[in-house]
């Protein structure tokens, strides 16, 4: 089985293109089903966040067909030309795909280097694929290994000790613009992972009033209650904007929910105090014109990316990369061993079948053979065949760990024909 990743990220893809291609959670099941329904793809997981869209697939077919299938579907969803998608997408295969996934899980490929929100996002992506029936044993083992590598890196280094995240970074900028967050009136629109994090951080910062709005009324009520905040309905948001110092949005909706006209009307009804808008949505939750209104500062994903690009990288990144290299090597070796296991088992089963066939033939030729002689003869036959197979079995496991191990495993499959296409005579 070949591991393939086809991905777009903030490092190689314009934000405008990512906005068009992001997969909302409501559409994820359909995308997974359509991808897994294409002939070259056996298993698939889709990781769609505010700064990346990556497809991880396990295949027995040609890599080019996997890339083509992913590009055709994702480009059509945009819609964008397939050529434009392929120009910015990056395809990685086997060890390179594994290394990239581990790097992502450890937070080294994030806008906020070391952020741990990606761990929850990766778990959620795997859960969604498992529920949809598109994540099988190959990708499940791979992502479990990536999460273990992430835990080891975060435990043994300071890569995640600063608690950096897009939400935390954005709220830091908000505090600078507003002269601190304590006592401010804040409104969070969205109850997903980013929304929950923003609510928790704002509560810790001591904001004066904290309101929460979302499409799911029970979830909104629970989140607001957890911090002593006020739950709002969607219809309450335009009015609430008039008394809001800080608006944080993270809904995952396909179109902006906060319109410039709404904010303009709210500003006209409010005092002249400044307003800060932090848009963590992808696609954006807030119309870009909002940032051009007097007294309003708008910071979105692109702006956060530019700010974080200038940030100092953690000192122990080389240590994290060394850990990733070790974990990748172990994972690749385990994958190769897993692929050789069924072949070796099939070889043994083939030998046992041959021994049993010969004993049936011998019993037919020597009907007077005593039970003791039959048992001794059968044991001798099995012993000889097992001894003969021991060397090739040990060597097969050794060769499976070779960089070209898949070629050796395939050669064994063809030589010993474990599928049994050749009849036993």
Q: Which residues are catalytic?
A: 50
* Residue 180 labeled ligand binder: no
Query: How far apart (Å, rounded) are the C-alpha atoms in residues 36 and 43?
Result: 6
* Residue 133 labeled ligand binder: no
Terminal Cα distance for the chain, rounded? 32
* Residue 372 labeled ligand binder: no
* Residue 78 labeled ligand binder: no
Query: How far apart (Å, rounded) are the C-alpha atoms in residues 282 and 18?
Result: 8
43, 178, 302, 340 from 4: Cα distances, Å: 10, 46, 28, 20
Query: How far apart (Å, rounded) are the C-alpha atoms in residues 321 and 32?
Result: 31
* Residue 54 labeled ligand binder: no
Query: How far apart (Å, rounded) are the C-alpha atoms in residues 157 and 159?
Result: 6
Q: Are 307 and 169 in contact (CB under 8 A)?
A: yes
Two tokens, residue 423: 């009849």
The kind and range of the H/E element at 211 are strand 209-213
Of 72, 66, 111, nearest to 91 by C-alpha is 66
* Residue 117 labeled ligand binder: yes
* Residue 157 labeled ligand binder: no
Q: Are 320 and 332 in contact (CB under 8 A)?
A: no
382, 407, 408, 410, 415 from 420: Cα distances, Å: 19, 20, 19, 15, 11
* Residue 116 labeled ligand binder: yes
Length of the chain counted residue by residue: 425
* Residue 50 labeled ligand binder: yes
* Residue 167 labeled ligand binder: no
* Residue 194 labeled ligand binder: yes
Q: Are 188 and 251 in contact (CB under 8 A)?
A: no
174, 362, 375 from 370: Cα distances, Å: 91, 12, 9
* Residue 191 labeled ligand binder: yes
* Residue 228 labeled ligand binder: no
Two tokens, residue 408: 């050796």
Two tokens, residue 369: 């053979």
Query: How far apart (Å, rounded) are the C-alpha atoms in residues 378 and 360?
Result: 10
* Residue 179 labeled ligand binder: no
**List of E strands, 89-167:** 90-93
* Residue 291 labeled ligand binder: no
**Taking CA 402 as the corner, what is the angle to CA 397 and CA 404, rounded to the nearest 5 degrees?**
115
The sign of the torsion formed by the CA atoms of 162, 168, 173, 174 equals: negative
Could you tell me which residues are annotated as the binding site?
49-52, 110, 115-117, 121, 190-195
Could you tell me which residues are annotated as the binding site for substrate?
49-52, 110, 115-117, 121
Could you tell me which residues are annotated as the binding site for NADP(+)?
190-195
């Amino acid at each position: 089985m070949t591991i393939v990743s086809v991905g777009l990220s903030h490092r190689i893809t314009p934000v405008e293109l990512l906005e068009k291609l992001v997969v909302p959670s409501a559409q994820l099941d359909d995308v997974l089903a359509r991808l897994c329904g294409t002939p070259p793809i056996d298993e698939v997981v889709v990781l769609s966040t505010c700064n990346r869209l990556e497809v991880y697939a396990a295949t027995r077919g040609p890599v080019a067909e996997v890339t083509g299938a992913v590009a055709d579907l994702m480009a059509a969803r945009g819609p964008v030309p397939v050529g434009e998608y392929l120009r910015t997408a990056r395809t990685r295969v086997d060890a390179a795909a594994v290394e990239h996934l581990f790097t992502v899980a450890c937070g080294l490929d994030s806008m906020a280097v070391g952020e741990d929100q990606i761990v929850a996002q990766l778990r959620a992506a795997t859960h969604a694929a498992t529920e949809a029936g598109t994540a099988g044993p190959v990708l499940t083992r791979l992502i479990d290994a990536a999460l273990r590598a992430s835990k080891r890196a975060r435990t043994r280094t300071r890569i995640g000790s600063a608690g950096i995240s897009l939400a935390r970074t954005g709220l830091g900028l908000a505090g600078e613009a507003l002269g601190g967050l304590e006592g401010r009136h804040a409104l969070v629109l969205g109850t997903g992972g980013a929304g929950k994090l923003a609510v928790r951080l704002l509560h810790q910062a001591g904001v004066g009033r904290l309101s929460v709005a979302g499409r799911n009324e029970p979830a909104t009520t629970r989140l607001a209650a957890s911090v002593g905040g006020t739950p709002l309905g969607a219809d309450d948001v335009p009015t609430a904007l008039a008394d809001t110092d800080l608006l944080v949005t993270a809904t995952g909706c396909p179109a902006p929910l906060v319109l410039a006209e709404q904010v303009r009307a709210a500003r006209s009804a409010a005092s002249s105090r400044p307003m800060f808008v932090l848009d963590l949505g992808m696609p954006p939750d807030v119309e870009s014109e909002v940032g051009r209104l007097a007294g309003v500062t708008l910071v979105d994903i692109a702006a956060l990316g530019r700010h974080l690009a200038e940030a100092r990288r953690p000192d122990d990144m080389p240590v994290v990369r060394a850990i990733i290299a070790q974990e990748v090597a172990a994972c690749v070796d385990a994958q190769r061993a897993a692929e050789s296991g069924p072949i070796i088992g099939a070889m043994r089963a083939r030998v046992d079948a041959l021994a049993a066939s010969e004993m049936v033939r011998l019993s037919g030729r020597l009907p007077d053979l005593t039970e003791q002689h039959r048992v001794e003869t059968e044991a001798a036959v099995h012993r000889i065949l097992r001894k003969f197979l021991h060397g090739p079995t040990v060597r097969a496991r050794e060769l499976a760990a070779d960089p070209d191990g898949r070629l050796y495993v395939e050669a064994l499959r063809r030589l010993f024909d474990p599928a049994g296409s050749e009849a036993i005579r």
